[in-house]
Amino acid sequence: MRRRAALLLLATLSAGFVPPPIGPKPAPVQRVNLVEIVDSGNMYDLINTTDCIAWPSPEVRAKGGSNGWGSWRPKNGDRGVATAWTKHCFQTNPRVVFVNIDPYWVAMGEGGIKFLTGSIDDLPEITK
């Protein structure tokens, strides 16, 4: 019986069979949506002081406007990671994109950013 199992193993290996790895499955690779601010005039720097849009979390909202930035201000050429988008409360376009420029958050109209990797279609929509 052992000889038969050994021959079966050799035949399997010589046929190019590779057994599956043992252990947990690797975590899926998350896409990073890198963006660059190309028109800081499309920034909503006070929108976090209103109930106009849905926010990913209270923490993002607290850091998502000029009252959370201190002396820092986003400018053209700044790069960050787009994480989600939401509809503006008064406009159907543009969509408002949440951009993390660590440790700050910026709510940008989609026309004010350029996607360097990925696209707005890769982002989840945040709704109220």
Q: φ, ψ for residue 11 (rounded to 5)?
A: -65, -40
pLDDT band at 76 (very low <50, low <70, confident <90, very high): very high
The CA R_g of the chain, rounded to the nearest whole Å, is 24
Say yes or no to pLDDT of 8 above 80. no
Tally of structural domains, the chain = 1
Q: Quick check: is 103 in a domain?
A: yes
Distances (CA, A) of 27 to 24, 94, 118: 9, 34, 20
- 109-122: pLDDT as tens digits: 999 999 999 999 99
Question: Position 41: which residue type?
Answer: G
H or E segment to which residue 11 belongs: helix 2-14
Once rounded to an integer, what is the mean pLDDT over residues 8-36?
A: 69
Q: Quick check: is 7 in a domain?
A: no
Report how far residue 20's alpha carbon sits from residue 81's, in angstroms, rounded to the nearest whole number.
35
Q: Which residues pair with 98 in a beta bridge?
A: 84, 107
Q: Quick check: is 107 in a domain?
A: yes
| Residue 91: count of CB within 10 angstroms of its CB | 10
Once rounded to an integer, what is the mean pLDDT over residues 42-61?
A: 94
Domain that holds residue 35: 24-122
H or E segment to which residue 84 belongs: strand 79-86
Q: Quick check: is 66 in a domain?
A: yes
